[in-house]
């Protein structure tokens, strides 16, 4: 029985349909490639191949592609798709803070 599962794992190969000149497709292909590399299941890899083939033949659009692929990426890393908070600062405020730190470090010696 394990010989059959090994044969199906070997039968599923990664698609090489990348189009580096088309940025949107190239980004989608890198998402597919990452998900394909991280999943060892032949079942999941076959499904990922079907999704990528559908995108390359224009059967689905990009939002549909990401919606379908994200279910296979979510298991891998919980940070995917989440929103991260980025804290920003004005340049002037940053420089004032740096000057204050430099002044304090000079006087502590």
pLDDT for res 16: 84
pTM greater than 0.95 (yes/no): no
Q: Give dist(CA 14, CA 40) in Å, integer.
A: 12
pLDDT band at 74 (very low <50, low <70, confident <90, very high): low
In the chain, where the domains are located: 2-84
Q: Give yes or no for a contact between 80 and 72, defined as CB atoms under 8 angstroms apart.
A: no
**Residue 88 CB neighbour total at 10 angstroms:** 6
Condensed to tens digits (0 to 9), the pLDDT of residues 26-51 reads 999 999 989 998 888 889 899 999 99
pLDDT band at 10 (very low <50, low <70, confident <90, very high): low
> Per the structure block, which two tokens stand in for 77?
């890393």
Nearest partner of 66 among 109, 24, 94, judged by Cα:
24
* Burial environment of residue 79 by CB neighbours within 10 A (0 to 12, 13 to 18, 19 or more): exposed
pLDDT for res 96: 92
Q: Give dist(CA 107, CA 109) in Å, integer.
A: 6
pLDDT for res 1: 46
Q: What is the mean pLDDT of residues 71-76?
A: 70
pLDDT for res 86: 74
């Amino acid at each position: 029985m394990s010989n059959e599962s090994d044969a199906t794992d070997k039968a599923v190969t990664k698609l090489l349909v990348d189009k580096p000149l088309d940025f949107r497709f190239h980004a989608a292909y890198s998402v597919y490639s990452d998900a394909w590399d991280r999943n060892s299941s032949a079942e999941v890899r076959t499904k990922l191949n079907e999704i990528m083939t559908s995108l390359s033949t224009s059967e689905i659009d990009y939002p549909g592609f990401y919606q379908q692929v994200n279910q296979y990426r979510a298991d891998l890393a919980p940070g995917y798709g989440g929103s991260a908070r980025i804290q920003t600062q004005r340049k002037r405020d940053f420089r004032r803070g740096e000057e204050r730190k430099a002044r304090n470090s000079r006087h502590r010696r």
